[in-house]
Structure 1
Amino acid sequence: MRLVQISDCHLHADPRARSRAGFPLRQLEAVIEAVNRERPDVVLVTGDVSQDETAASYQLAARTLAKLSAPWFWLAGNHDAPALMAETRELLDELDLDTWRVLLLDTRVGGQPHGELGPERLGRLAERLAEDERPTLLVMHHPPLAVGSAWLDEIGLEDREAFWETLAAFRQVKAIFCGHIHQAFTGYRQLAGSPQRLEERQVAVYGCPSTTDQFLPGAETFAVDEASRPGYRVVDLEAGDLTTWVERVDL
């Protein structure tokens, strides 16, 4: 089973609109062409689909993403309008991939750049994990770890410690995939064992390049990485294990 993650398309209603370092629609089209060569089974779009939060931008996104050769699913980021997204294409919260399960989490806080799950959504996450012991991936927009850029770390998942406390009891969570940071990233969180299983374990967190502008890793303040290229993340799932890497796209 092969998944591909694309993220942070930042499309405008105007297909000719520019970003800081390029043309979002043109770059998304190039990424889609490259993704199709990977022969994915599923494509996940992890938020910030739109820059201007207009119905027209989501309609443009849906028409463009329809060029993917695999089924695709999206979730909302801090720049998105979930109601408009849902009018264009359904927002799902779970994918059944036979021996694997993918839970899509809503971390958006209306009108704010940072993310949060909150007690209600965290409680629901625990309930969902308790229902099924299959190997599970969590997919979300905001990163639940610091990524090493001061300005991005200020607008990550605000209740990250409560999130990790929720996950501590559920060993089937194999990895977390996020958007928001516009760069390749791999980090790990060490989780203590439960009273029944005392050994600790690591859970990996993977970030994804944007299909448009890239952010400069390690920057204290906002900075675009003009030397980097758009990209996507490939995830190969096998029996309870995964392999993942990032690919870049020449324009």
Structure 2
Amino acid sequence: MRIAQLSDMHFVAQGERLYDSVDVNAHNADIIHQLNHLIDPIDAIIVSGDITNDGTKPQYQAAAKILNYARCPLYLINGNHDRTAAFLEHLAPLCEPLLSAEQVRYRVDLAKRTLLFIDSTVPEQTYGQLSQATLDWVAYQLSQTSLPVAIFMHHPPLALNSAHMDPINCQNGDKLLALCEQFSHLEGIYCGHNHCYTTTFYQGVAIVSAPATSIQIPVYQRDATPSYQFDQPSCLIHTLSDDDRWVSFQHHFQLFQGVRRFPWVGGK
């Protein structure tokens, strides 16, 4: 099993640029192309939220067009930059478990693992919160499987030492973390939102935020000033070892230079 976890792709409408400067659509298209051509093939791609920048129809149309080039199943969840109704309307056709869903909450059993996908968004807010119905659903799913479980959501359920992002993480993440003590087969909680690769542990459960495919946010523990940086793009790849351990690593993509025109200097 090899699963690529992308996050915070922030697609914009065709022909536009993020912050009027970053061609994220071309950048994301190149990332999908690179994943399609890895030496060790990918079995699935997860995108852990903020698929679009503003949740508009043109942005989802651009996202759907490019994500549809993926040569493996897609498992998608929404983030605070998305709009749930539009997310389901335009992206459910790319993610089979969402086809008949009225909300973003589903389970996938894949290669000796149970994967749970949940919505942590609050309409019109940047912070996250889990509904009681979602918490009850997670507890029920955990009780119904003996397989190791990984949860995917957008907002981290606890602080990750980022003065900028911690105030807008999942505000009641402690209720989800309480399940770590009740269900020993909960293996990890994998998030996006923080625009950087960060990892910690709670009661032996891995809590991980994936890097963004677009722009990264540096982790400053005390400086909350919003700032962005253009690091080499990357994602997480989750694999199973021969002895059935979940192993994750950061995979860096080749830098996308875009289309450039050079003057012809060699004559006619």
TM-score, normalised with respect to structure 1: 0.90
User: Structure 1: any 5+ residue segments left out of the alignment?
Assistant: 191-201
User: Structure 2: any 5+ residue segments left out of the alignment?
Assistant: 93-97, 99-104, 257-268
Q: CA deviation at 1:176?
A: 1.3
Residues 91-170 of structure 1 aligned to structure 2 (within 5 Å): 91=98, 93-170=106-183
Code of the aligned partner of 1:237: L
Corresponding residue number in structure 1 for 2:236: 233
Residues 36-51 of structure 1 aligned to structure 2 (within 5 Å): 36-38=36-38, 39-51=41-53
Residues 1-251 of structure 1 aligned to structure 2 (within 5 Å): 1-19=1-19, 22-38=22-38, 39-90=41-92, 91=98, 93-190=106-203, 202-218=204-220, 219-226=223-230, 228-238=231-241, 240-249=244-253, 250-251=255-256
Structure 1 ranges of 4+ moved more than 4 A = none
Counterpart-to-counterpart distance in 1, 2:235 and 2:138: 27
Q: 1:248 to 1:15 in 2, by over 3 A?
A: farther
**Contact 2:9–2:50 (CA under 8 A) maintained in structure 1:** yes
TM-score, normalised with respect to structure 2: 0.84
Q: CA deviation at 1:98?
A: 4.1
Code of the aligned partner of 1:246: Q
Report the 3-state secondary structure (helix = DSSP H, G, I; strand = E; otherwise coil) of the residue aligned with 1:245. strand
Q: CA deviation at 1:20?
A: 6.9
How many residue pairs get aligned? The number is 239
Counterpart-to-counterpart distance in 1, 2:111 and 2:30: 30
Counterpart-to-counterpart distance in 2, 1:94 and 1:49: 20
Counterpart-to-counterpart distance in 2, 1:164 and 1:47: 20
Code of the aligned partner of 2:209: G
Counterpart-to-counterpart distance in 2, 1:34 and 1:108: 30
**Contact 1:108–1:114 (CA under 8 A) maintained in structure 2:** yes
Counterpart-to-counterpart distance in 1, 2:207 and 2:19: 27
| Identity across matched positions, percent | 28
Code of the aligned partner of 2:71: S
